[in-house]
Structure 1
Amino acid sequence: MFNDLFAEVSQGFGTKNYTSTVPSFGRGHEIVVPHGKLIYIPQFIDQKIADRTLDVFFENDQYAWNETNWHNVENINDLVWKNIAWHQDTIKMYGKEHTLPRVSAWYGDTGKSYKYSGILLHPKPWSPALLWMREQLQKVSEHHFNSVLLNWYRSGQDHLSWHTDAEKELGKNPTIASLNFGEARRFVLRRNDDHSDKIEISLGHGDLLIMQGELQHYWQHSVPKQAKISKGRLNMTFRQIHSPTEL
């Protein structure tokens, strides 16, 4: 499976052929890059649990997860979601409001609010399923996460532009763990000072990617459009939000 995802795995990762080693816990691939580190674990979550995750997280009062063209559903914010409070946000650009090309939800400890792109998110309380996911991550990351941003890409039309997760409340050198379910999507990183230096990973059903070190200060990442993909993808990025007194 690993060779299928990386055509040049024997030579390394990305345009600079970064090499990998097996992490100390014995699973996956640890990729050391300038100013950071990536840990990639294919099928970190068992397929049966990953399948069930999609059923539970998208349960609502009107539509079936796998039988709906979600880009034709105009009332996502009005649906009664059973387990995750999905919401499609809007941002203002050049005096006009634009709907974000993805649907999101924010969960975490009380008081751990998060602001990005002018959107202020207040956390919903942890659900048992999210707490279980967090527990699995902390076994391999040795890091405490107090919040999680869930992004739902309804099809390959939904995307995430180039950015860094370097907001002040994330603290210095944040560790961010990304769990992925549903359709595999391209995840691309590039150096801030050299856009030709790129690493691309296809993150699939149950896969885990952890970003560590100074990565957020020196590398950008994105989830580009993929027009041929018609089905959805769920991404959860677990983070640690710091209060002002902790910074």
Structure 2
Amino acid sequence: MLELFDAFVPELPDATIKYYPHFLSPQEADRLFELLKNETPWRNDPITVFGKTYPQPRLTSLHGHTTDPYGYSGIVMQPNPMSKSLLDIEQKLEAYTDETFTTVLLNLYRDGQDSNGWHADNEKELGVNPVIASVSLGASRFFHLKHNTETSQKLKLELTHGSLLLMEGTTQHFWKHQIAKTTKAVAQRINLTFRKVLKVH
């Protein structure tokens, strides 16, 4: 299990956030980035926000151990099988966190204009207090958090190559997060968000 002294653990109300900058070695991260960039069946779905539909500003791919669909913002995705690359990183992640996951959503940010707007991972399929494990590969990007009601409560983290961010507890109930656009020239970034998708009847 990951030790807290390896982590940055900000003191935030209504949230449990842990950031491990060295979850993967540079060599592991380099290898995984190239494998996933080339082997992943990337797609660009239209997304509906506030009644308007437009292409998502990033590429995505859903993979899992089950056939249970997962959806957000009007998109319903059927999971692809888990590749050996994904199984290897999942096994390491589960050993380090003592959590189990069923599904991973991959995002490919092609440049600084690709982004992920303010949202919470609060879909009912994720359960009451979901654990979201986010592994970053490639270019560093800033991750922003803001509290839903306490407007002074904000956090900005630089997610670096090979890092792991854990969001646990009531975080998704009280906080939103985003990867904002940037005018700076940035290389490609792949983000893997592991989660446990439950059957909802």
Q: TM-score range by the shorter chain?
A: over 0.9
Per-residue displacement from partner, 1:16-55 (whole Å, max 9, x unpaired)? xxxxxxx646522333422221111112111111111121
Determine the structure 1 residue equivalent to 2:164.
Answer: 208
Q: Offset at 1:93?
A: 5.3
User: % of aligned pairs identical?
Assistant: 38
User: Aligned partner of 1:169: which letter?
Assistant: E
CA distance in 2, matches of 1:122, 1:141: 26
User: Does 2:41 align with 1:85?
Assistant: yes
In structure 1, runs of 5+ residues without a counterpart are 1-22, 60-82
Residue by residue over 1:166-217, the C-alpha shift from the partner in whole angstroms, topping out at 9 and shown as x without a partner, is 0000000000000001110000101000232101100010011000000000
Change in 2 beyond 3 A, CA 1:24/1:116: same
TM-score (norm 1): 0.77
Q: Distance in 2 between matches of 1:100 and 1:173?
A: 26
Match of 1:53 in 2: 32
Distance 1:202 1:208 in 2: 11
Q: Which residue of 2 aligns with 1:218?
A: 174
Question: After superposition, what is the alpha-carbon deviation per residue over 1:213-233, rounded to whole angstroms, capped at 9, x for unaligned?
Answer: 000000000001111133111
* Distance change >3 Å, CA 162–CA 92, structure 1 → 2: closer
Q: CA deviation at 1:94?
A: 7.0
Partner amino acid for 1:182? Answer: G
Give the superposed CA RMSD.
1.6
Once the two structures are superposed, what CA deviation does each residue of 1:143-175 show, in whole Å capped at 9, x if it has no partner?
101000000110110011111000000000000
Bigger Cα Rg: 1
Match of 1:33 among 1, 8, 12: 12
**Contiguous gaps of at least 5 residues in structure 2:** none
Contact in 2 for aligned 1:185/1:223 (Cα 8 Å): yes
| C-alpha spacing 1:196/1:94, structure 2 compared with 1 (3 Å) | closer
| Partners of 1:237 and 1:121 in 2: CA distance | 15
The reply to whether residue 188 of structure 1 matches residue 144 of structure 2 is yes
Distance 2:37 2:128 in 1: 34
**How far apart in 1 are the matches of 2:142 and 2:7?**
18
Per the normalisation by structure 2, the TM-score is: 0.94
Residue 159 of structure 2 aligns with an amino acid whose one-letter code is: L
